[in-house]
A = this chain, B = another copy of it.
Amino acid sequence: MSVSTKPASGFRDFLPQDMRRRNHVADVITQVFESYGFQPLGTPCVERLDALLGKYGEEGDQLIFRILKRGEKLQRVIDSGEGTDVSLADAGLRYDLTVPLARVFAEYRNDLPSVFKRYQIAPVWRADRPQRGRFREFFQCDVDVVGSTSMVVEAEVTAALADILKRLEFKGFRIHVNHRQLLRALMEVSGIPEHMESDALIAIDKLDKIGRDGVVTELLGRGINPDAVDKLMPILDDADSPETEGFSNQAVLEHLESAIGEVESGRTALDELKQLLDFASGSPAADKLYIDPYLARGLSYYTGPIFEIRSDDFPGSIGGGGRYDGLIGMFSKQDVPACGFSLGFERILVLMEERGMFDDADSGVDALVTVFNEATASNAINLTHELRAAGLNVDVYTTPGKYKRQFKYADERNIPFVCLLGPDEVANGTVAIKNMKTGDQVSVSRSDAAKKLIEMRA
Q: How far, in angstroms, from A409 to B40 measured CA to CA in the complex?
A: 17
**A62–B282 alpha-carbon span in the complex (Å):** 58
- A264 contacts the other chain (Cβ, under 8 Å)? no
- Return chain B residues, CB-CB under 8 Å to A398: 115, 145, 148, 150, 152-153, 156
Q: How far is the CA of A118 from the CA of B284 in the complex (A)?
A: 38
Shortest distance from the beta carbon of A325 to any chain B beta carbon, whole Å: 15
* Option from B107, B136, B364 in Cβ contact (under 8 Å) with A5: B107
Question: Which A residues lie at the B interface, using CB under 8 A?
Answer: 2-8, 11-16, 18-20, 22-23, 34-37, 39-48, 50-51, 62, 65-68, 70, 74, 78, 81, 83-85, 88-89, 91, 93, 103-104, 106-108, 111-115, 117-118, 123, 125, 127, 136-137, 145, 148-150, 152-153, 155-156, 159, 278-279, 281-284, 331-333, 364-365, 368, 371, 377-378, 381-382, 385-386, 388, 391-400, 405, 408-409, 412-413
Cβ-defined partner of A127 (8 Å) among B70, B85, B108, B412: B70
Of listed A4, A44, A156, residue having the most chain B CB within 10 A: A44
Cβ–Cβ contact B22 & A117, under 8 A: no
Which residues in B have their C-beta under 8 angstroms from that of A48? 3-4, 8
In the complex with contacts A41-B15, A150-B399, A385-B46 CB distance below 8 A? no
Contacts A47-B8, A68-B88 known; A22 to B42 CB distance under 8 Å? yes
Taken together, the copies of this chain in the complex come to 2
CA distance A46 to B136 in the complex (A): 10
15 A-B pairs, CB-CB below 8 angstroms? Answer: A2-B331, A5-B51, A5-B331, A13-B43, A14-B41, A14-B43, A35-B391, A35-B393, A39-B364, A45-B93, A45-B125, A46-B125, A81-B81, A83-B88, A113-B413
CA distance A29 to B183 in the complex (A): 50
Min CB–CB distance A400 → chain B (angstroms) = 8
- Which of B112, B115, B145, B399 is close to A15, meaning CB atoms less than 8 Å apart? B112
Smallest distance from the beta carbon of A168 to chain B beta carbons, Å?
17
Closest 8 CB pairs of A and B: A37-B395, A14-B42, A282-B382, A16-B39, A11-B44, A19-B40, A148-B398, A5-B107
A115 CB contacts on chain B under 8 angstroms: 397-399, 409
In the complex, are the beta carbons of A13 and B113 less than 8 A apart?
A: no
Q: State A159–B3 Cα separation when bound (angstroms).
A: 36
Q: Distance (Å) between the CB of A411 and the closest chain B CB?
A: 9
**A35 neighbours in B (Cβ, 8 Å):** 388, 391-394
Q: What chain B residues lie within 8 Å of A12 (beta carbons)?
A: 42, 44
Report the separation of the CA atoms of residues A282 and B386 in the bound assembly, to the nearest whole angstrom: 9
B388 and A13 contacting across the interface, CB-CB below 8 Å? no
Are A42 and B70 closer than 8 Å at their CB atoms? Answer: no
Give, as a whole number of angstroms, the nearest-CB distance from A218 to chain B.
31
Query: Which B residues are CB-close (under 8 A) to A41?
Result: 13-16, 19
Determine the distance from Cα of A262 to Cα of B78 in the docked complex, in whole angstroms.
61
